[in-house]
Amino acid sequence: MRDGIHLGATLIRPESHGPHPAILYRTPYGQERHLQGAELPRKAARHGYLVFLVDVRGRYTSEGEFAAYHQERDDGFDTVEWIASHPLSDGRVGSYGGSYPGYVQWLALAEAPQGYAAGAPAMTPTASHHFFYLGGAFNLTWYDWFVAAILPDLHRRAGTRMEPNPERWSEERRDWYMQRPLADIPFLQDLTPYYFDWVQNPDLTSWWDFANIEKDFHRIQAPVLLVSGWFDNTYGTIGAIRGFQGMRREASTEDARQGTRLVLGPWSHTSLNVHRTRIGQLEFGPAAGIDYDDLLLRWFDRHLKGLPSGVDEMPPVQVFVMGENRWRFADEWPPPGAEEFTLYLTGESEGDAGSGGLSRAPPQEAEGWDAYRYDPHDPVWYEGPGSPGPFDQAPIEGRPDVLVYTSDPMEEPLEVTGEVWAELFVSSSAPDTDFAVMLCDVHPDGTSYNLMGPEAGYLRMRYREGYDRQVLMEPDTVYRVKIGDMPTSNVFREGHRIRVHLTSSRAPHFDPNPNTGEEIATAVRVVPAEQRVWRDTLRSSRIILPVIRADDGS
């Protein structure tokens, strides 16, 4: 690297003499581990590619100090240029990888190194603040990431004993997730100082520019293949969508603008395996299977070798329509032709005692609301036997702090494809609290399945006016809020019902709001909050669904 640090790498090469185009995979998780578990590196070498697997700075075989995401722009630039000038290389470099190995591609692409001809960042964000603070709430699943994937190697390098023990983590993790303050987590103190920077910078400011790609689309010269899933961590789904939109609108070359592709399937963050069709608790049929290795090789054949591989003929947007379990093709996202389909929250639902309804007609009551008590000591734990992915929501919907609203059974199929929004009128006894929305498909047997990832539809109320500033609430004052980050594609089939459930926590994905209005990072005290969701003539809370009537895109 430019500062003299050496990164450890493995090269898998074709048997034939070069020069050859190269494919790069950069990872914090151990390039040797990737080589043991992935088939693509050897497939690609047999296909005529040099494949470089590289440990990022400060990880496994690489020198230096690991500072998550902070070092990846410069190191990515230097690595790509080094590979492009390698004696065996023909000067053209592509890249692949998902999650962190996806994000490092964006960061390197934004620096426009010579020879970088194509990327394939999968299941990864494009906006750093949105990544860490989706909806304004801190994403606490970093704890799982540190314990399972990051701390073991850091302790190995430091020669120290790791606590908590990863083998006991599943037993202890709930206690750690409930610990406060967030700015004083003992097992992160010595080796991961950047975590404390994250929690102490909750507002959207220029501090987050170190990993914000959305200001850099205009600098990117190479096309990208963007793959994510409806049950991916929501930053991945939103990242793929925003990445596609930003590249098509702003990328610096015509090839990058017109060559970028978006594929959204029924997958979760860890489920993009060859021909896997069962995600969570649902089987999505043979159309859901994808040979991702084959797709990547065709992508690189087109953009690194200039070969006709069918990639140019791929529709710019491919989305999997759940329910009917088929693909829809479009030139843009969201697909054109959708109409707003509004369902209002009501106080009654046929066949669901104690639950509310969803109606096309606005409420007629002069004053109406539904109430619940949110206790930060007992947050909704949003995990199930099928997660990540669609799973039975009954344990969640049966809680007293979860409001459930259900439509009548569908008389005919209804396709919802695009960005779902909730417009809510809410109040709280607290100066700050959270509201969470989940859209579900209720099957004829009564089982309710989520239609999106675990962070979708979340809002921390102090950020209702924008993520760049905190504005506390006046207790018991009604606020109109719009909650989004809920993309999906699903056909509610005949006999199925649409369901929305609302609550104020979603652990372990977000830190439970203490309801005190204090700074989240340093807050220790927590108090219960009395919540209301209003549904009357002047405060008509509703869900807005993008409905596609005509089957003109599949």
Beta bridge partners of 61: none
Kindly report, residue by residue over 128-150, the tens digit of the pLDDT.
999 999 999 999 999 999 999 99
Cα–Cα distance, 83 to 68 (Å, whole number): 23
CATH 3.30.70.100 fits 9-131+207-276+285-321, yes or no: no
Cα–Cα distance, 148 to 167 (Å, whole number): 9
The ranges assigned to domains in the chain are 9-131+207-276+285-321, 139-201, 339-548
Kindly report, residue by residue over 400-448, the tens digit of the pLDDT.
999 999 999 999 999 999 999 999 999 999 999 999 999 999 999 999 9
Q: What is the pLDDT of residue 275?
A: 73
Q: What is the pLDDT of residue 181?
A: 97
Dihedral of CA atoms 146, 147, 148, 154 in degrees, nearest 10, equals: 70
Among 469, 370, 468, residue whose Cα is nearest residue 427:
370
Statement: residue 66 has pLDDT above 50 = yes
Cα–Cα distance, 141 to 531 (Å, whole number): 26
Q: What is the pLDDT of residue 348?
A: 67
Kindly report, residue by residue over 13-59, the tens digit of the pLDDT.
999 988 999 999 999 999 999 999 999 999 999 999 999 999 999 99
Kindly report, residue by residue over 519-537, the tens digit of the pLDDT.
999 999 999 999 999 999 9
Burial environment of residue 340 by CB neighbours within 10 A (0 to 12, 13 to 18, 19 or more): exposed
Cα–Cα distance, 407 to 405 (Å, whole number): 7
> If one looks up domain 339-548 in CATH, what number appears?
2.60.120.260
Q: What is the mean pLDDT of the chain?
A: 95
Q: What is the pLDDT of residue 351?
A: 44
Q: What is the pLDDT of residue 384?
A: 82
Model's pTM, two decimal places? 0.96
Cα–Cα distance, 51 to 10 (Å, whole number): 8
Alpha helices, DSSP H only, in 89-149?
A: 100-109, 128-132, 142-145
Cβ–Cβ under 8 Å, residues 242 and 230: no
Radius of gyration for the chain, computed over Cα atoms and rounded to the nearest angstrom: 24
Tokens found for residue 532? 């209301």
The percentage of residues in the chain with a pLDDT greater than 90, rounded to a whole number, is 93
- Strand runs (DSSP E) across 356-457, as ranges? 356-359, 369-374, 403-406, 414-428, 434-442, 448-450
Give rounded-to-5 percent helix, strand, coil for the chain: 25, 30, 45
Q: Which helix (H) or strand (E) holds 37?
A: helix 31-37
For the packed helices 100-109 and 72-84, what is the interaxial angle rounded to 10 degrees? 70
Kindly indicate the confidence band of residue 353, based on its pLDDT and cuts at 50, 70 and 90: very low
**One fold for both 9-131+207-276+285-321 and 339-548?**
no
Kindly indicate the confidence band of residue 287, based on its pLDDT and cuts at 50, 70 and 90: very high
Cα–Cα distance, 421 to 341 (Å, whole number): 10
